């Protein structure tokens, strides 16, 4: 018979799978990074794991962070919004205007309201170019961490 911990573990796995499948690269990376920080993974451990093709095992993220990102991902899916962090036509990699808007705006907000609020936030943030935040750089960093995180 499953106890309370099994139920929580299953719920966490369900939310992690949701963010993993439908989240942005930044959202997935945020969960991975948070789990590593909570577990106190050191760079030496990461290096050892990567060199030996091993796994760090499960690294559960902060429950509140996971819940917030899962709500965001679900809200974005319900509204049919693109899987992006920024609403700009040419998104700034450092800008999280859409994600932050989805976190803060009510769940009853429609697509038009979310996009208008996100564009307003984008204008206020005025994101700057960041050469290290490009898709290739982030994807490679994310894949390396995920490979170390996921048991083979």
Residues of this chain that bind Zn ion (CB under 5 A):
86, 88, 95, 97, 122
Treating both helix axes as pointing N-terminal to C-terminal, what angle do 97-104 and 111-125 enclose, rounded to 10 degrees? 130
Residue 96: C-alpha distances to residues 1, 37, 45 (Å): 42, 21, 30
Between CA 67 and CA 72, with CA 69 as vertex, the angle to 5 degrees is 110
43 vs 86: CA distance, rounded Å: 30
Return the number of the residue (50 or 105) whose C-beta is nearest Zn ion.
105
- Nearest 10 degrees: CA dihedral of 54, 24, 63, 142? 20
Q: Least distance (Å) from Zn ion to the CB of residue 43?
A: 31
Q: Least distance (Å) from Zn ion to the CB of residue 91?
A: 6
97 vs 95: CA distance, rounded Å: 6
Q: Least distance (Å) from Zn ion to the CB of residue 70?
A: 22
Return the number of the residue (16 or 100) whose C-beta is nearest Zn ion.
100
Return the number of the residue (31 or 98) whose C-beta is nearest Zn ion.
98
Q: Least distance (Å) from Zn ion to the CB of residue 65?
A: 21
Return the number of the residue (96 or 149) whose C-beta is nearest Zn ion.
96
Contact 147, 50 (CB under 8 A): yes
Return the number of the residue (49 or 88) whose C-beta is nearest Zn ion.
88
Q: Least distance (Å) from Zn ion to the CB of residue 92?
A: 6
């Amino acid at each position: 018979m499953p106890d309370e911990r099994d139920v929580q573990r299953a719920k966490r796995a369900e939310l992690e799978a949701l963010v993993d499948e439908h989240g942005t690269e930044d959202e997935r990376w945020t969960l991975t990074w948070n789990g590593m920080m909570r577990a106190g993974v050191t760079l030496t451990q990461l290096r050892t794991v990567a060199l030996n093709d091993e796994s760090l095992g499960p690294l559960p993220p902060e429950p509140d962070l996971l819940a917030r990102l899962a709500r965001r991902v679900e809200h974005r899916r319900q509204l049919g919004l693109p899987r992006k962090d920024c609403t700009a036509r040419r998104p700034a990699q450092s800008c999280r205007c859409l994600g932050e808007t989805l976190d803060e705006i009510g769940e009853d907000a429609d697509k038009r309201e979310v996009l208008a609020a996100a564009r307003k936030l984008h204008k206020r943030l005025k994101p700057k170019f960041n050469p290290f935040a490009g898709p290739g750089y982030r994807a490679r960093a994310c894949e390396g961490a995920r490979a170390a995180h996921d048991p083979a």
